[in-house]
Amino acid sequence: MYGLKSELELDLASKHYSLEDYEKGVARWCPGCGDHGVLTNMHKLLREKQLDPAKTVFVSGIGCSSRFPHYMDTYGFHGLHGRAFPVACGVKFRRPDLDVFVVTGDGDCCSIGAGAWIHAVRYNMNMTVVLLNNEIYGLTKKQTSPTSRLGTISNTNPEGSILPPLNPVQTTLGVANASFVAQTADWNPAHMYETLKAAYEHKGFSFVHIIQRCPIFQAALGDELTSNKDAMVYLEHENGITVNEDIAKTFKNKANHDPTNLSEAMHLATEDHHIHMGLYYQNKNAPCYDDHGASNLGFTVEQKEEALNIELDKYAI
């Protein structure tokens, strides 16, 4: 009754985010491009984790995949070619409260951005990194990329690529302080989703290599990958990427792999005849550089000036 005193308290529901809260615009990728599936799964992940769009940042460089921030209704930074990692590390170093995602491609990450990539792995800052690898330069219309297989015919190698490709999983595993390395594929959305989820839940630099189809410039390769059931191997382990039984049955081949075993992970990454899907390696105890980057975030202007003067006084003669 109006005006009646009562001990009753009404708990109002906190803000609940739906898929529409994360979706933005119409993706301008080619029909059939694997980027569409990654985008859909990313929207689903943010909804499940109920990430605040105002405290979520997507950073990219240049390439087809790097249009990703345009289709996320969060904060975004579409940066220079190969420079997504320095930007993302800078954001995380000074704003550890933000959820930071990096979306990059095989050219953006493995060519011009290779130096930044290596050091970002070593810094092990708490962010989720997705490398979309279609083994070709798509945005500039079919040039050989660092991950293109031997014999790949392109505008820059009309008689076929003559150099062996760079292996993103092997490279990341070989960097000191690597802490999370996984692989999935765009044509298995359920496995991809569980991989992205595990990557986000890991504290540190979570590197997810997504094998991706390009129906315009690598159509034959995409058909080969999706039709060769013998090539795909599902990595099983209680501490790995787990999918439901129905999805697990879609894999003809399975292998038990302990993701704490770095040497075995390296062996799996370099095996030529199989593509292993799952968690290669995880080290939950690897130090994170961003743990040391925000010690003065709560300082007032006066405190910052005092701290700066203390440091400058050390150089007084």
Q: pLDDT tens across 43-102, in order?
A: 999 999 999 999 999 999 999 999 999 999 999 999 999 999 999 999 999 899 999 999
Distances (CA, A) of 256 to 188, 209, 210, 265: 19, 20, 21, 11
Enumerate long-range contacts of 291-294, CB under 8 Å, 24 or more apart. 291/96, 293/92, 293/93, 293/94, 293/96, 294/93, 294/94, 294/95, 294/96
Model pLDDT, residue 8: 54
Asked if residue 14 has pLDDT above 90, the reply is: no
Model pLDDT, residue 5: 52
Model pLDDT, residue 297: 75
Question: Among 27-41, 195-209, 232-246, 295-309, which stretch is predicted with the lowest mean pLDDT?
Answer: 295-309
Question: Among 1-15, 47-61, 238-252, 297-311, which stretch is predicted with the lowest mean pLDDT?
Answer: 1-15
Percent of the chain scoring above 70 in pLDDT = 96
pTM, entire model:
0.90
CA gyration radius for the chain? Answer: 22
In the chain, where do the E strands start and end? 56-60, 75-78, 99-105, 127-133, 180-185, 205-211, 232-236, 253-256, 275-282
Spell out the domains of the chain, with CATH numbers in brackets. Answer: 23-313 (3.40.50.970)
**Neighbour count for residue 12 (Cβ, 10 Å):** 4
Tokens of 172: 């990341």
First to last CA, the chain: 77
Model pLDDT, residue 10: 54
Report the distance separating Cα 186 and Cα 212, nearest Å: 5
Distances (CA, A) of 100 to 84, 128, 301: 11, 7, 27
Q: What mean pLDDT is reported for the chain? A: 93
- Model confidence over 189-231: pLDDT tens digits? 999 999 999 999 999 999 999 999 999 999 998 898 888 889 9
Q: Give the model's confidence band at 1: pLDDT under 50 very low, under 70 low, under 90 confident, else very high.
A: very low
Tokens of 45: 């992940």
Model pLDDT, residue 7: 58
Question: Among 5-14, 98-107, 181-190, 221-230, which stretch is predicted with the lowest mean pLDDT?
Answer: 5-14
Report the distance separating Cα 246 and Cα 120, nearest Å: 36
Longest dimension (CA), the chain: 86
Residue 203, burial from CB neighbour count under 10 angstroms (0-12, 13-18, 19+): middle
Asked if residue 12 has pLDDT above 70, the reply is: no
Q: Across-strand partners of 282?
A: 180
Instruction: Describe the crossing of helices 84-94 and 114-123 by its angle, rounded to 10 degrees.
Output: 30
- Mean pLDDT throughout 305-311? 91
- Mean pLDDT throughout 131-159? 93
Enumerate long-range contacts of 67-72, CB under 8 Å, 24 or more apart. 67/27, 67/28, 67/29, 67/35, 68/35, 68/38, 68/39, 68/42, 68/103, 69/103, 70/24, 70/25, 71/23, 71/24, 71/25, 71/27, 71/39, 72/22, 72/24, 72/42, 72/43
- Mean pLDDT throughout 18-27? 95
Of the candidates 178, 185, 184, the one whose C-alpha atom is nearest the C-alpha of residue 202 is: 178
Model pLDDT, residue 44: 98
Q: Give the model's confidence band at 292: pLDDT under 50 very low, under 70 low, under 90 confident, else very high.
A: confident
